[in-house]
Structure 1
Amino acid sequence: MISANETKMPVTHNAPLLRDTMARSLQRELDSLKAEGLHRRLRQVDGPQGPRISVDGTEAIHFAGSDYLGLACHPRLKQAACQATMRYGCGVASARLISGNHDLYPQLEERLACFKQAEAALLFSTGYQANLGVLSALVGSQDVVFSDALNHASIVDGCRLSRAQVRIVPHNDLAALERLLERERSARRRLVVVDSLYSMDGDVAPLAQIVELAERYDCVTMVDDSHGTGVLGKTGRGAAEAAGVLGRIDIETGSLAKALGGFGGYVVASRTVIEYLINRARPFIFTCALPSAVVATVLEALAVMEDEPERRQRLWDNTRYMRIRLREIGFDVNPNGTQIIPLVAGEPERAMRFCQELLSRGVFAQGIRYPSVPRGTERIRLTVTASHNRADLDIALTALAEAGRAVQLI
């Protein structure tokens, strides 16, 4: 007869040892990041989005967000969110292909398609997931993607997930793009993908020339217009409108959390592409639908943007003022750029010291380091908004001059 003690499985200590080994390995990597000046931490922000916020207990003028038109706290958007919450509740608790497709979603998709002059649109939970979904669904191992060297991480990750062959195009280099298009004529599907307005450099892709090349070489175009929507173009329709190619971009993705002041992501394209994504894009299929309050907020944001075009004008007035004055102070700034203004420090420690010098003077502009930007190009990224008044800008310019001298940038 076997005793109870003899039937017990032998006790092993492998799991705790493995956990300890992993913990030590992770700590070594964290220590290495600290040594390189690349360690990150979460800052505590209090209060609503606006031209002034509290950062780690310090009140500061806010130049680190993407609420370009100042819509995130607009009374009409808040009212729309409250009304939708009272009607639909706080969460959908289902994917749209199951029971989460409430009536607001097709309303916003139709509105976005009309706004972008496309056949159809599809909402995603984030702009990041929109790029993952499009690239992983539409291209595969037999296909080639031509991706700009400075494309957003979501595009980079979408390319990896797709398993397509990726050809990196030097930033905004049209001659290099044409050489690659000529070389890869035999691929099953070919897709060129760019950001419209690059989030770390503030420059704009030459969309008119890219579209012309893509049409000449029978290549699909995909543009992420996250930072251009609401900002670029005569009516804020984005980079395609500004470049005169509205309706000629095959696929456009973007975030609803920038100038539109809400949340989520979108894709606009032909009805065939949208139907295919509904059936094949895993980040869409296997994700709960956005809360109805978020969808209602973006619907209202599009209406406010049309009703109050002066917001976009004020954004551009503020942008031109800041760029001209920064150049006069001594920073290397193009006076004719967009609302995203990089001030390159060149190394991570210097960028973060610049950031702290600004915060101590009541200005918050986050230091940006590798891998968000290439090594050696660490920077402060200023984002101008329509909500800033002239007094805000002048206070910030004084702080930037003092902090720039403190870290020997000017």
Structure 2
Amino acid sequence: MAELAACPKEQLREREDAFHIQRVERLWSGGHLLRGREPGSGDLQLMSNDYLCIQNEPALREAQAEALLNSKTDLLMSSVFTMKGSPMQQLEAAFADYMQGEEAIICQSGFTANVGLLQSIASPSVPVYLDMNAHASLWEGVKAAGARGIPFRHNSPDHAERLIRRYGPGVLVVDTVYSTDGSLCPLAAIVDVATRTGCVLVVDESHSLGTHGPGGAGLAVALGLADRIDFRTASLAKTFAGRAGLIVCSRRFKEYFRMESNPAIFSSGLLEHEYVWFLEALALIRRADDRRERLREVSDIVRWRLDELGFDVGGGTEQIIAIESGNEPDTLKMRDALQGSGVFGAVFCPPATPRNHCLVRLSVHSGLTDEELDTLTTRCADALKLLKEVMA
């Protein structure tokens, strides 16, 4: 008689134990890697993706509040039922114009945009080639499609092309600015690979939309490549400081997507005050060249100073600055040293990073003053001194 499979409840308990005993108690010594001390009023908090500091803009808040107070009751339903002329379609048209695309689709989040897109364009017979640092949502989209995900070396168009020549054309997937280390995609070379090999190209602009290109229209527009990319996606929870996602695509694909993407079909759409926020934010971001210039300056200064102090900031170049911290116990020590000195970043650990390759990520923004940059430098120097003492 065949042995019965292990009880599902016992399997769940084993998985819970693996987290609570092996990870929390042993690796983290009873603490929590993602939750240290609470930041105080004098601490520098560099965890937000609000790169251009629009979240507290009075005009945006007032417009959203007015819409919330005065708009008629919204219909809580899937966005696939939305009619022409709706606030959603007005926003989609505005983003399509902004990003020099034919059409745009507003999704519930950047995650659902990526999952829904790949679920609707890939399949078990279509290989998907992803930069090994591509966002987790893109990998989840591959799973949703039942497709084979084939990773290629980070920022290596040559390696991507060799794999495509070996396994055949499929879907090629990259980010423009990678969320773990702030590295910039060699987008022109990737576009050339997709063209030569006949691949469908998906480009995630989550961390470049609003911060790069003319008016913040993204890296693809900055490089004149918008019409050579099949799909561009973005989370609007970064520079646009809201809660939604975006796909730029063809008009023909848009109608197909609404009938094929499970996240689009089975999730409710946004509410009117959220559409108002994004329209107001788009108008502000288009004219925010001074903030983009300041963000570039701040990014360069912080990255250079941390490197000079002796922190390993990897190969990034943009507003996301990742400090390499190694395994989880060492990362706990680095986090505590930084927080003890008044600097708060976001800890990235498995499953967001490979095992023993954790990061403390600092996300800088355009609102940092010269005085705050000096304070950050001093505090990071203090943290490094403390860290060396703890690690000795």
With normalisation by structure 2, the TM-score equals: 0.90
Match for residue 103 of structure 2 among 120, 137, 140:
120
Superimposed CA distance per residue, residues 148-179 of structure 1 (whole angstroms, 9 cap, x where no aligned partner): 11111101111111111222111112221111
User: 2-side partners of 1:227 and 1:25: how far apart?
Assistant: 34
Does 1:30 find its partner at 2:12? no
What are the residue-to-residue correspondences of 1:162-173 with 2, within 5 Å?
Answer: 162-173=145-156
* Residue 260 of structure 2: aligned partner: 280
- Are the aligned partners of 2:215 and 2:288 in contact in 1 as well (CA < 8 Å)? no
Correspondence 1:400 to 2:383: no
Q: Distance in 2 between matches of 1:339 and 1:28?
A: 35
Query: Aligned residue for 1:64?
Result: 47
CA distance in 1, matches of 2:246, 2:108: 8
Structure 2 residue identity aligned to 1:231: T
Pair 104,357 (structure 1): closer, same or farther in 2 beyond 3 Å? same
Report the equivalent of 2:305: 325
Deviation, structure 1 residue 20? 7.8
1:70-116: per-residue Cα shift (whole Å, max 9, x none)?
01111121112112212336864211234688721111100111111
The one of 118, 140, 161 equivalent to 1:135 is: 118
> In structure 2, how many angstroms separate the alpha carbons of the residues matched to 1:264 and 1:24?
36
Q: Which residue of 2 aligns with 1:235?
A: 215
Structure 1 residue 199: deviation in Å?
Answer: 0.4
Q: Does 1:380 align with 2:360?
A: yes
- 1:58 maps to a residue whose letter is G
Alpha carbons 2:80, 2:264 under 8 Å: kept: no
Given candidates 192, 195, 198, the residue that maps to 2:172 is 192
Question: What's 1:349 paired with?
Answer: 329
Offset at 1:29?
Answer: 3.2
Distance 1:383 1:391, change over 3 A: same
1:225 counterpart letter in structure 2 = E
What is the CA distance between 1:352 and its match in structure 2? 2.2
- Stretch deviating more after TM superposition (248-257 or 344-353): 344-353
Partner of 2:274: 294
1:235, CA displacement in angstroms?
A: 2.7
Helix, strand or coil at the partner of 2:178: coil
> Which residue of structure 2 aligns with residue 52 of structure 1?
none
* Kept after mapping to 2: 8 A contact 1:314/1:386: yes
Query: What is the alpha-carbon distance in structure 2 between the residues aligned to residue 136 and residue 335 of structure 1?
Result: 31
Alpha-carbon distance in 1 for matches of 2:102, 2:250 = 5
Contact 2:338 2:380 in 1 (8 A): yes
Question: Contact conserved, 2:52 with 2:239, CA < 8 A, in 1?
Answer: yes
Aligned-partner residue type, residue 358 of structure 2: E
Q: Is the 8 A contact 2:314 2:322 kept in 1?
A: no
Shift of 1:278: 0.9
**Counterpart residue identity of residue 325, structure 1:** R
Alpha-carbon RMSD across the aligned residues, in angstroms, is 2.5
Pair 1:306 & 2:306 matched:
no
User: Residue 3 of structure 2 aligns with which residue?
Assistant: none
Write the letter of the residue equivalent to 1:125. Q
Q: 2-side partners of 1:279 and 1:158: how far apart?
A: 17
What is the Cα deviation at residue 212 of structure 1?
0.8
Kindly indicate whether the alpha-carbon contact (under 8 Å) linking 1:92 and 1:290 is maintained by their aligned counterparts in 2. no
- Give the distance between the partners of 1:286 and 1:320, measured in 2 at CA: 43
Q: In the aligned structure 1, how far is the partner of 2:149 from the partner of 2:80?
A: 31
**Aligned position for 1:270:** 250
Identity %: 30
Distance 2:118 2:250 in 1: 15
Match of 2:93 in 1: 110
Q: Which has the higher helix share?
A: 2
What is the DSSP-based 3-state SS (H/G/I as helix, E as strand, rest coil) of the residue aligned with 2:321?
strand
In 1, are the aligned partners of 2:331 and 2:360 still within 8 Å (CA)?
Answer: yes
Residue from 233, 240, 245 that aligns with 1:253: 233
CA distance in structure 2 between the partners assigned to 1:270 and 1:99 by the alignment: 19
Residue pair 1:323, 1:334 contacting (<8 A) in 2 also: no
Once structures 1 and 2 are overlaid, which stretch shifts more, 349-358 or 115-124? 349-358
Which of 119, 129, 137 aligns to 1:146? It is: 129
Total equivalences in the alignment: 381
Residues 340 and 25 of structure 1: is their aligned pair in 2 closer, same or farther, counting only changes over 3 Å?
closer
Moved more, 168-177 or 240-249: 240-249
Judged with a 3 Å threshold, the aligned counterparts in structure 2 of structure 1 residues 288 and 335 are, in CA distance, closer, same or farther, namely closer
Change (3 A) 1:308 1:281: same
CA distance in 2, matches of 1:119, 1:284: 19
Q: CA deviation at 1:368?
A: 1.7
Distance 2:15 2:200 in 1: 43
Using the TM superposition, give the Cα deviation of residue 63 of structure 1 relative to its aligned residue in structure 2, in angstroms.
0.6
Post-superposition offset of 1:388 = 1.2
Aligned-partner Cα distance in 2 for 1:118–1:295:
19
Residue by residue over 1:233-271, the C-alpha shift from the partner in whole angstroms, topping out at 9 and shown as x without a partner, is 243111213333122211001111101111100000111
SS in structure 2 of the partner of residue 97 of structure 1: helix
Write the distance in 2 (CA, Å) between the matches of 1:223 and 1:26.
36
Matches of 1:330 and 1:29, distance apart in 2: 33
Asked if the contact 2:232/2:247 (under 8 Å) is kept, the reply is: yes
Q: Which moved further from structure 2: 249-258 or 324-333? A: 324-333
Match of 1:214 in 2: 194
Q: 1:18 and 1:167 mapped to 2: Cα distance? A: 31
Where in structure 1 are there 5+ consecutive unaligned residues? Answer: 1-16, 45-54
